[in-house]
Amino acid sequence: MDAVPDSRADPAGWLTARLGGPAFGGDYNPEQFQHDPAVRREDEELMRRARVNLVTLNVFGWAELEPEPGRYDFAALDARLERLHAQGVAVDLATPTAQPPPWFGLAHPDALPVTADGTRLTHGSRDTYCLAAPAYRQAARAVAEALAARYGAHPAVALWHVHNEYATVCHCEHAADAFRRWLRDRYGTLEAVNRAWGTAFWSQRYGAWEQIQPPRATQWRPNPGQVLDFRRFWSDLALTAYREQRDAIRAHSRVPVTTNLMLPGYQVLDLWAFGREVDLVGVDHYPDAPGLDAAADTAFGADRARSFGGGKPWLLIEQATSTVYAGDLVLPKEPGDILRHSLSHIARGSEGVLFFQWRQSPAGAEIWHSAMVPHAGPDTRIFRETVETGHAVAALAEVTGSTVRARAAVLHDPDVWWALDTPVLPTPELPYLPALKRAHRALWDAGITTDFAHPSADLSAYRLVLAPSLHLVSEESAAALTAYVEGGGTLLVECFSGAVDPHYRAWPGGAPGPLRPLLGLRAEEFRPLPSGAAVTLTDGGAGATWTEALLLEGATAEIRYAEGTLTGRAAVTRHALGRGAAWYASTRLSPASYTALIAGLIRASGAEPELPALPAGVEAVRRHSADGRAYLFLLNHSPAEVRVPVRGHDLLASRALPPEGAVLPPASATVVREES
Ligand code: GLA
């Protein structure tokens, strides 16, 4: 038998050794049923059927745990842990700090969050706290400490789950004080802040630290440098709050500690920074679209989660058995989706799949949120698919610890996200998330396994790197990207890049600022297009939203504008540099043009798909073990039966594949230990 890994050196390895395979389970909240023993007995039986081995407890348990200030009542939690342990189910134990009890807000009204327009929120929902309020931080640390002291060595506890989806942002006086301290640390002098933010504009010059406010509601446009710094500050504050709880837990426990990061639509946190501080990355993922878009979004979320942890195994802490708000709608997942989405996460490095939540809540704000056991009970399609998924996950024990190898990357920088969010842009139609998704989707459609990377990272492992936007760029990132291309890489940068520096100040000499030698061009003029307008290009394609008048300084025009003022001038360029090439698209290419350009870059760069010539809607991803085994995950999202000529052992069916390879019925999946 292999030695159990050390929980500090290899947290994910320790967790899966402790569980005997990948994790399977979800948030478990028997308190929502007043601890009804009949429901509890049925839960035990159903968890056995579904092969649940890990449940998340206590996420919103603060009011039950500390019914009055300073008086902890552990009785219910003690009993729950004992019972689960006896049942053979391990516990992901949460600190309940995402919602303080009602008494807390009454005792500490200054710890309730204030919106940008000055409204102080009150309890009655959730996530109602201010991370900058001393009373909140003290109470959060204390409850984490109390839990760790009591359960730090409890044999049921296999993972610590700090807080829940850090996302609440506050604009109160505590936030203002903490922001000023952060600015002092970062800039040293008030003069440096004034320079960075360009406060000479509109008479904003600060003469004393106390004059600086969080970006509260203003008469018109706020200062973009201030907005950007506040977002950085808030992410740093959340990370400090996380570390405080983590360290309080570590003082009593060697069990790995993480938090469930919210993906992918919110960007309150710098997820690279969190990835460095958690023992293993934990994320929640809810595709908000049905069909193939959900499959692509699942891959998008999973690839991000893996990347934020530097490629190490990670864990999906929440998903749902339905979509969660496609617009205003909750849509069903169709038959087979739950299994395929789950396997997509595992294919991309997750060491299991957990759901929100085990049993649908009989009351409360999420009464209609889906669950593994619906209101209609276990004799339902959803519970049957839950059981099927649990069995599939259990068959993948040998896959744990293996990793994913990507040959392409999409650049992801929280500073760019926040910069493109500032309300001072010449167009609101170039937001970051859709651009990131489009780049990832183009590679996903081509069957290419993709990482995300920070633009300042060492990118030499990748054949192809897509930068959907580098609107804000630092000298450091420009140098890293130049080294990548000179070393033989292929890079595509998209429009409105290199426009501002990390303080949101225009780069002197205009765009693309420090990317100018790399791209071999400069933009003499930005020419945004009216909403809905398009411009034709010489390859027969089109651009929209944005155009630029480029002056080439070494780059060659690959595609030109074919109408309007820019007729005949470069639209898409290529600059050969060192052993590689840097491409620039100065307009937002139409879907067909974009797909065609990416197809060309894939061919030119040698970034190969995981399996060649797969039919549309069929996904293939491999995990590789340290001892040379390869696990091929095949997900058929299409309505047709698909044959894939591969040799090896089918782990889900537990038998050798027939000589003709894997046969996948519509909407099905398989996992193959490949024969080398
Ligand atoms: C988040 C929360 C859960 C639940 C789900 C609903 O991920 O962590 O408590 O509200 O959303 O999708």
Q: What's the predicted TM-score (pTM) here?
A: 0.98
Does residue 270's CB lie within 6 angstroms of at least one atom of ligand 1? no
CATH no. for residue 564? 3.40.50.880
Does residue 284's CB lie within 6 angstroms of at least one atom of ligand 1? yes
Domain that holds residue 416: 408-605
- What's the total number of domains in the chain? 3
Average pLDDT, the chain: 97
d(CA 629, CA 109): 57
Whether 498 and 528 share a structural domain: yes
Whether 566 and 622 share a structural domain: no
CB 276 within 8 A of CB 242: no
Confidence of residue 1 (pLDDT cuts 50, 70, 90): very low
| Phi, psi (degrees; rounded to nearest 5) at 668 | -130, 180
Which residue among 145, 165, 385, 548 is the active-site one? 165
CATH no. for residue 622? 2.60.40.1180
Which residue among 318, 351, 385, 548 is the active-site one? 318
**What's the gap in Å between 150 CA and the centre of ligand 1?**
27
The verdict on whether 351 is a catalytic residue reads no
Whether 637 and 587 share a structural domain: no
- Tell how strand 350-355 and strand 314-318 pair up: parallel
Whether 541 and 459 share a structural domain: yes
Q: What is the mean pLDDT of residues 237-265?
A: 95
* Residue 567, in any domain of the structure: yes
Local structure of 532: helix, strand or coil: coil
Whether 638 and 594 share a structural domain: no
Query: How does pLDDT run across 383-428, given as a tens digit for each residue?
Result: 999 999 999 999 999 999 999 999 999 999 999 999 999 999 999 9
Does residue 286's CB lie within 6 angstroms of at least one atom of ligand 1? yes
Residue 264 has pLDDT above 90, yes or no: no
The verdict on whether 398 is a catalytic residue reads no
Encoded tokens for 309: 């942890």
Whether 587 and 657 share a structural domain: no
State which ligand 1 atom lies nearest to the alpha carbon of 59.
9
* Residue 453, in any domain of the structure: yes
Query: How does pLDDT run across 416-458, given as a tens digit for each residue?
Result: 999 999 999 999 999 999 999 999 999 999 999 999 999 999 9
- Furthest-apart CA pair in the chain: how many Å? 78
Q: What is the mean pLDDT of residues 164-170?
A: 97
